[in-house]
Amino acid sequence: MLHGVLSVAPLKKGGRGDFPLCAEFKSPSIPLFQRGKRIAVVCLIIVSALCGGHSSAQTQSNWQQEWDKTIAAAKKEGKVVVGLPPSAELRRELEPAFKNRFGFEMEIFQATGPQIANRIVTEAKAGVRYFDSFIFGSCTGVPLIKSGHFDPIEPYMILPEVKDAKNWWGGHVWMDNVTNSKLFYSFIATKSTEGYWINTTLAKPEEFRSLEDLLNPKWKGKIGLSDPRVAGSGLSVWSYLWESKGEEFLKKLVAQELFVTQNLRQLAESLAKGKLAITLGIGLAQVEPFVKSGLPLKDLPDPVEGNPSSNGYGTLAIVKNPPHPNATKVFVNWLLSKEGQEIYSRVLLHGTRRLDVDTKWMAKQGVEASKDYLSVADNERKRNYLEDKCVDVRMKAQKFAASVLQ
């Protein structure tokens, strides 16, 4: 502890505030050489504090200046073009919220992840650039990793609340976790994969307590499946069945005369009209219009065998050299901000990984965010998404699907 008196002289006008850069330490009982050392220590502490404060303020000033310039440039670009999953409510919520916040348009193109991905690749080969960014289910991105058609996301992150990994459950998670190219950011983690829906006039939830119940002859010709031969929600369900129940189980399931299609809208409509009793591999985005119309559709709880965790429609990509680069930065930072994640996860009932967004209320809707119910280690064991799982499980299951489905 220092003893004595600090005699402080104010800075000359034009200095940083009225704080001294040094201080005179007076104590007649301390030898001059010791006094000199202690004066030096005090000076060092004061100068360090000032420099530290200046550095912190400078850091804040830097990102704020960059953000302000980016928004101004984005307004001149006029819009950002984003590919999103096919949910009418998502469009209704995102478009006005974004425009009111930033003063320019978010032009939304809605389709399945594979459909948008195929269009982006085709247009890129033709020298056409329409999309700036798009969101998809995890494994849609695997064939795209080495395509050269996408930009890394980190350079587009500006806001500290987005860049700081401590704001995200499990830290920053990249879909391309094997190649580690950091092209695709995974912002959703839900405890269980959704994808089982029934028409309650034809089937009851208690009739599907186990996956084995799908093999009941009663359901022959009454089961619909999103085509697992292409990346998407159907492959998610199929690959889990492949890994947990085995190929013999899937052969028996195919013998149930499945209605298999890549048209998710058709699948949901067939369920709503009673042509099917149960569908595998469609989610809220597809059944939403029918549920809101009062048709008898209900999602099933997890079977006794359990389900893997999912990241749903929760992977973000940026097209290489997007036509509206500044508007793209604004969109990326807004989507991954607290405000953007609150809207996106609420509308699609997806559990965001942002720690400052409340997701516990979703349990009443049958959805449990991983961050509320699992440890990071438990989620790591349960997940069936990200590049490693896509390659080791989903692609093998997809190959098997191609061999048994005609």
**Whether pLDDT at 246 is above 60:** yes
The answer for 182, left when phi > 0, alpha when psi is -120 to 50, beta otherwise, is left
Residue 319's SS3 state is strand
Q: What is the mean pLDDT of residues 94-118?
A: 95
Q: Tell me the CB-side half-sphere exposure of residue 145, using CA atoms within 13 A.
A: 23
CA distances for 1 relative to 25, 31, 38, 48, angstroms: 13, 16, 10, 19
Cβ atoms 27, 35 nearer than 8 A:
yes
What does the pLDDT read at residue 3? 43
Which residues make up the CATH 3.40.190.10 domain(s) of the chain? 79-191+311-374, 196-307
User: Does domain 79-191+311-374 match CATH 3.40.190.10?
Assistant: yes
Q: Which fold has domain 196-307?
A: D-Maltodextrin-Binding Protein; domain 2 (3.40.190)
Phi/psi at 98 (nearest 5 deg)?
-70, -45
What does the pLDDT read at residue 192? 81
Q: What percent of the chain has pLDDT over 70?
A: 85
What does the pLDDT read at residue 27? 45
Q: Where is 372: in which H helix or E strand?
A: helix 370-373
CA distances for 71 relative to 62, 67, 318, 326, 330, angstroms: 14, 6, 18, 7, 7
What does the pLDDT read at residue 31? 54
Rounded to the nearest 10 degrees, the angle between the axes of helix 247-254 and helix 233-244 is 130
